[in-house]
Each structure stands twice: as C-alpha cells, then as structure tokens.
Amino acid sequence: MSPNEKTLLRALKGETAIPPPIWLMRQAGRYLPEYRAIRAKARNFLDLCFTPELAVEVTLQPIRRYGFDAAILFSDILVVPHALGQRVWFEEGAGPRLEPLRRIQELARLTMSGLHETLAPVYETLRRLHMELPEQTALIGFAGGPWTVASYMIEGGTSKDFAVAKTWAYRAPDEFARIIDLLVESTSEYLIAQVEAGAEVLQLFDSWAGVWPEPGLRRWCLEPVAEIVRRVKVAHPDVPVILFPRGAGPLYEAFAGEAGAEGLGLDTTVPLVWARERLQGAVTLQGNLDPLLLVAGGAALDQAVARILDTLGAGPFIFNLGHGITPETPPEHVERLVSLVRAWRPGA
C-alpha cells in the first residue's frame, strides 16, 4: 500500500481503495451552469478545446464543485480527424459534423504531418492542469478508439446504424484497415504526447464498439485498441490505460484478457455479478451507473449506487457512469452521488 499515492492510480495498480475513487465520464459539460457561461465565451466548440485558458477552466469546474478523484482533459475525440486535415465542426444542438470520407482515394488528403502542431494547445492544457490540480487529483488524458472515430469520419457525424462505415469494412476490409491503421498510428502518437504533457492515466473511448458481430468487434475494436496500448507502453511502460468498449457484451472478457490495459469501463448494461466473477480478477473495473439514474435521483439512485458498490467495491474498482453524463442532470444529484460513494463501507 502506498497511502500518499492518488487513489485512482492505486486502484489501477490493482489495489482496493475503500471508498473507491470516483470520476464521471463527461463530468465537464452543459449540465453545469458555469460550463455554459464559459461555452458562451468561445466562438465554437473546437475553439473551446483549443484555448488552453478556457479548456483548463472547464476541466477544473467539476473538480471544484465535487472534489472528484480525477480530472479528465477537456477536449473531444474528434480533434484527431481535425488534426489529420479533415473538416470537423460542431453544430449547436446537432452534435458533431464532418466532411465525410467516402472513397479510399480521399484518405491521401489526410496526413500526420501537422498532428502535433494542431494539437499543441491540448498539450498546453495538460501542462497547465498538471500544475494546477489538487495533489490528490489524477489527470486523465483520452482519445477515441479507432473504430468510433472512423465511424464519425465516414458517416460525417452521428449515425443510427453505421451502415456506410460497416458496409465499407465488409466489402473492402483492406481499404478499411488503412483508415484504422492511420488512426492507430496518430492516436498512439497523440496519447504518448499527452503523457509527456502531464496525463497520468489514459482512457480510450470506443463508444460504438457494440454495433459489431464478434469478428468485426475483434478486428476493428479489440485489435486496434490493443495495438495502441502496446505502442503507448513501449514509450511509457508505467502509464495505466482504461478501455471503454461500450456495448462489447460477453466480449468484455476478451478486452479484460487480451488488450493489455489495467482498467475496463463497463457500460450500463453489463451485469455486475458477471463482471465481478469474470473480469475483476484480471483488471480494475470502472462504471457503470446508468446516467439516467443521475437524472432521476431519489431512491432509485440511492439503491443503484449501493448495488454497484456492494457488488464491485470489494475488488479493484473506480466508480463511474456506464456512459457520459447527460445535459439534463441536476447538479445536486451529482452531489448526492459523490456523498453516497464517499460514505460507503463494505458490509455496512
């Protein structure tokens, strides 16, 4: 035991911290009035991500309010296609939009040559956060999984069925592999640079992993993500990585056993007892409160939090949501959640 070490880092070394550390996916964002105030000052969302002064401020807002055990860099998974040269913009209320990549010939327009230059403000944000965070608060850097990012690049935004991207992968897997390879390479470099700028933990968000049958999930999610983990660890063997292959179902076991990461983020649907028995011996688990319970609050929230802690809290565990916080979340429900987690003791 190393009592002075940050609880999140201890948990990712396989230690059981009582109570477990807590942070929330999308903990900075529209549900906070102070975020909306800063957001109104930026010309657009990408400007917010690329203005260190503002990005630092919105990263720190939920830390000040709730004292979470980790701060997550304020940025977005789509800064990578932007830095590769694809046109990316965010429309108010409509989510992200990209000029879609539809023919393999168009891939030649994307290049890693300006990657670090475009992403330099993100590294600057991390350097400032590293200086400014309270000493017990861990700093998480992140990127999207190659499949999830590729889906936005190809579909041109959010998709319901991922028909264009999946059909491409089925019809021309060699072409599709070139897109994924470019993302493996750029994402690995991006994450390594994040560590060098001060990130202490990395999370890979593969939010749309769950749309694939098993072979596709292995080929387009597990393998690329495992390759990123491998490359990051060549450069920085000690940096812990958390994977979030949302919707992977029973294949969560493959992510626990084969990807080389220390942490695994469970989505809302993963059964807790199954996760304890099949996954928790291999990795530190993170999750998986339904974000809508945080909107609802009341007894339903209290009971669900207790059930998660009582089932997973006796092993290496990080409390989190099963997906990102929603803008409708009342900030006082988050306050309640944090006090429930901090008051929890096993068997009490």
Q: Among all residues, which ones are annotated catalytic? A: 26, 30, 39, 76, 152
| Residue 339 C-beta: closest distance to ligand 1CP, Å | 20
| Residue 320 C-beta: closest distance to ligand 1CP, Å | 11
In the complex with ligand 1CP, the residue whose CB is nearer, 90 or 317, is 90
Cα-trace Rg, the chain: 19
In the complex with ligand 1CP, the residue whose CB is nearer, 25 or 344, is 25
Exposure b/e, 146-181, CB count within 10 A at least 16 = b = bbbbbbbbbbbbebeebebbbebbeeeeeebbebbe
In the complex with ligand 1CP, the residue whose CB is nearer, 22 or 315, is 22
Q: Residue type for 285, please? A: L
249, two tokens: 């179902």
Task: Report d(CA 320, CA 288) in Å as an integer.
Answer: 6
100, two tokens: 């879609």
Task: Report d(CA 48, CA 54) in Å as an integer.
Answer: 6
| Residue 140 C-beta: closest distance to ligand 1CP, Å | 9
| Residue 77 C-beta: closest distance to ligand 1CP, Å | 4
262, two tokens: 């220390």
| Residue 201 C-beta: closest distance to ligand 1CP, Å | 13
In the complex with ligand 1CP, the residue whose CB is nearer, 90 or 123, is 90
- Give the footprint of ligand 1CP on this chain (CB under 6 A): 25-30, 39, 45, 72, 74-78, 90, 95-96, 142, 148, 158, 205, 207, 324
| Residue 50 C-beta: closest distance to ligand 1CP, Å | 13
Dihedral angle computed from the Cα positions of residues 94, 99, 103 and 106, in that order, rounded to the nearest 10 degrees? -150
Alpha helices, H only, the chain: 7-12, 33-41, 45-49, 52-66, 79-84, 115-132, 146-155, 163-171, 173-196, 214-217, 223-235, 252-258, 272-278, 291-296, 298-312, 331-343
In the complex with ligand 1CP, the residue whose CB is nearer, 148 or 188, is 148
| Residue 239 C-beta: closest distance to ligand 1CP, Å | 17
In the complex with ligand 1CP, the residue whose CB is nearer, 16 or 159, is 159
* Residue of 214, 223, 142 lying closest to 176 (CA atoms): 223
Q: Do the strands 138-144 and 201-206 form a parallel or antiparallel pair, or are they unpaired?
A: parallel
Do 270 and 252 touch, CB atoms closer than 8 A?
Answer: yes
**Residue 330 C-beta-side C-alpha neighbours within 13 Å:** 9
Residues paired with 260 in a beta bridge:
none
Do 289 and 344 touch, CB atoms closer than 8 A?
Answer: no
